[in-house]
Amino acid sequence: MNSRKATAALALATALALGASACSSDSKSSDNGKKSSSSQGTSAAKDAALTGIVNASDQKGGTVVMENSDVPDSLDPGNTYYGWVQNFSRLYARTLLTFKPAAGKDGLTVVPDLATGLGKASPDAKTWTYTIRSGLKYDDGTPITTKDIKYGIERSNFAPEALSNGPTYFKAYLAGGDAYKGPYKDKNPNGIASIETPNDTTIVFHLAKPFADFDYLATFSQTAPVPAAKDDGAGYVKHIVSSGPYKFASYQDGASADLVRNPQWSQATDPIRKALPNEIKIKFKVNANTIDNNLLAGNTTVDSGGTGVTPQTQAKVIGPKYAKNTDDSYAGATSYLAINPNVAPYNNADCRKAIEYAIDKVSVQTAIGGPVKGDVATTLLPPTVNGYTKFDEFATPDNKGDATKAKASLAACGKPGGFTTNLTARSDRPAEMAEATAIQNSLKQVGITANIKSFPAGKYFSNFAGVPSYVHQHQLGLMLTAWGADWPTGYGFLDQIVDGSAIKPSGGNNLQELNDKNINAALAAAIANTDAAARTKAWGDIDKMVVDTATVVPLIYRKNLLYRPDSATNVTITQAYLGMYDYLLLGSSK
């Protein structure tokens, strides 16, 4: 999904391992949101929001102001893959299950949302049944039924011609998923047969193969209900029908959105949301440094992107005046370089290995702001995700690159003098552009000339790096990206970036177009295994298999150096959404 010291990371990973033994609804708590000791209010101090709630308040009112340096891929809950939108969309789009709005490890607990409880699984983890609450309504007063949830899944997973940004887990795992053409092409009013809705409050999923993480999948925004009569494909984003405590008062594509209270929402049917602010405003295409300045001045509540302050602002906020308002959170995400073997000369494994050995990862870390912005990575899985196993397949002295090994690999692939290549990054993300420059300098030392091509974040995957035809035509051999888990297990992290089935005509995240039959089979076997310990081990093994292909260069286990103004209330980090602030809790005293 488009990341404390080692002991804390290990503790979190252990907690995840204990909470990820799906296949039985008893394996995860169904707590409906009552406070625990870790979610009590905390005074403002450096890193206070990592484990507590800063400026806790039950006061209703105020306006939360959000800003973002680019545009979202989409605010349509069925057409998004950015982590911040998954977090943000919970304000207006309820899902079957969600992550508990709470501080610390409690925020990783899966709790019922539209549903009355967690999924009831068959012993083989191929059939999952949910019951939703009675009395649910959209913002127009019409009732929400399980048929709307089914329709939302159908449109989001089976209509790439209209909605291409999100993942396709349901398509991959539902029985008959390969044959169903989606609601816009298949006019059968019954839709896909493997999702049954025997009544308005029951929904049953029949899978073609076991899927032990299904409760995590039920937290995804694609399970938000969508009324078929109001849907017009890609245009739905302009008039989203709300199932949450807020509805859209206005939406200007690429510019802004304004959310106000939904009078049809009832806390009686939604015990996990407090819905304290009166209004939530979000602005797009605001310069990243401007956002930082607005945060420091108290004019903005939060940078919705959740990736932290820019390198230019970092030196100021770690100083004595502002440090107490910062939280340096592991993002549960890894920044990495994708190497596409379908772009010459990377069809030769030795040319890919030359890239692996040439890059000075410490220079990349320094370019983005040093250790405060993350640790040097040697694996795709970050230490905070269940299944992480430490290894280093392309070790170099002090992680600073090895020119000798890089040049030997160049000679082995028939390019002893080096070559010219293209390297992509997101133009509105200063840290990623800084990474690109550091990599460019590293490659230059061994005779490889990297021309940097930059693209806007909002269209990076849908129009450029995530479009294989564009990548091949424009010879985009090296592509910078970052990835966090769709849910905090190895499968939730790896599947969409390394499985061959995740390669899509557009909106893809498997940028290296990895389609290795052994890796594909290992992923399928692991997620079908109802033994939690065996699954956990498998994720580390698969991670190593991927890195061994030399199609990815792990760079940084990312941290987000976040800033919270004094006016922000109920501020806490959620590891479920990439270490950003939890937007369901966030309020404002203004």
- What secondary structure does DSSP assign to 339-352, as a single string? E-TTSTTTTSHHHH
Q: Of 208, 223, 240, which marks where a domain is finished?
A: 240
**Residue 233: per-residue pLDDT:** 96
Q: Of 240, 275, 292, which marks where a domain is finished?
A: 240
Would you state the torsion angle of the CA atoms of residues 565, 568, 574, 578, taken in this order, to the nearest 10 degrees?
A: -50
How buried is 463 (Cβ within 10 angstroms: 0-12 exposed, 13-18 middle, 19+ buried)?
A: middle
Same domain membership, residue 336 and residue 230: no
Same domain membership, residue 341 and residue 480: yes
- Flag whether 273 is in a domain: no
* Residue burial 476-506, b: 16+ Cβ < 10 Å; e: rest: bbbbbbbbbbbbbbbbbbbbbbbbebbbbeb
- Flag whether 289 is in a domain: no
- Beta-bridged to residue 112, according to DSSP, are 97
Q: Of 215, 240, 265, which marks where a domain is finished?
A: 240
- Flag whether 290 is in a domain: no
d(CA 348, CA 343): 10
Judge contact between 83 and 134, C-beta under 8 A. Answer: no
Using the 8-state DSSP alphabet, how is residue 337 labeled? E
**The pairing of beta strand 279-283 with beta strand 63-67:** parallel
Same domain membership, residue 479 and residue 337: yes
Please tell me whether residue 407 adopts helix, strand or coil conformation. helix
d(CA 560, CA 310): 10
**Residue 35: per-residue pLDDT:** 34
Report field, pTM of the whole predicted structure over 0.95: no
Same domain membership, residue 335 and residue 213: no
Judge contact between 31 and 271, C-beta under 8 A. Answer: no
H-type helices in 339-429, by residue range?
A: 349-358, 361-368, 403-412
| C-alpha pair distances (Å), 62 with each of 57, 59, 261, 588 | 12, 9, 12, 5
d(CA 321, CA 346): 48
Domain holding 429, by residue range, is: 329-560
**Residue 33: per-residue pLDDT:** 34
**Residue 532: per-residue pLDDT:** 87
CATH, residue 184: 3.40.190.10
Residue with the two structure tokens 């160049």 = 410
Please tell me whether residue 5 adopts helix, strand or coil conformation. coil
Same domain membership, residue 350 and residue 223: no
Any idea what the Cα angle at residue 67 is, between residues 61 and 72, rounded to 5°? Answer: 115
- Flag whether 156 is in a domain: yes
**Residue 40: per-residue pLDDT:** 52
- Flag whether 48 is in a domain: no
The pLDDT tens digits of the residues spanning 242-268 come to: 999 999 999 999 999 999 999 999 999
**The pairing of beta strand 53-54 with beta strand 326-339:** unpaired
**The pairing of beta strand 256-261 with beta strand 587-588:** unpaired
Judge contact between 406 and 358, C-beta under 8 A. Answer: yes
How many of the other CB atoms lie within 10 Å of CB of 398?
10
- Flag whether 50 is in a domain: no
Same domain membership, residue 354 and residue 217: no
CATH, residue 388: 3.10.105.10
Please tell me whether residue 249 adopts helix, strand or coil conformation. strand
- Flag whether 508 is in a domain: yes
H-type helices in 372-467, by residue range?
A: 403-412, 430-444
Number of domains forming the structure of the chain: 2
The pLDDT tens digits of the residues spanning 178-236 come to: 999 999 999 899 999 999 999 999 999 999 999 989 999 999 999 999 999 999 999 99
DSSP3 helix / strand / coil % (the chain, rounded to 5): 35, 20, 45
**Residue 311: per-residue pLDDT:** 83
- Flag whether 256 is in a domain: no
How does pLDDT run along the chain (590 residues), one tens digit per residue?
763 223 333 333 333 333 332 332 323 333 333 333 334 567 789 999 999 999 999 999 999 999 999 999 999 999 998 899 999 999 999 999 999 999 998 999 999 999 999 999 999 999 999 999 999 999 999 999 999 999 999 999 999 999 999 889 999 999 999 999 999 999 899 999 999 999 999 999 999 999 989 999 999 999 999 999 999 999 999 999 999 999 999 999 999 999 999 999 999 999 999 999 999 999 999 999 999 999 999 999 999 999 899 888 999 999 999 999 999 999 889 999 999 999 999 999 999 999 999 999 999 999 999 999 999 999 999 998 989 999 999 999 999 999 999 999 999 999 999 999 999 999 988 889 999 999 999 999 999 999 999 999 989 999 999 999 999 999 999 999 999 888 889 999 999 999 998 999 999 999 999 999 999 999 999 999 989 899 999 999 999 999 999 999 999 999 999 999 999 999 999 989 989 999 999 999 99
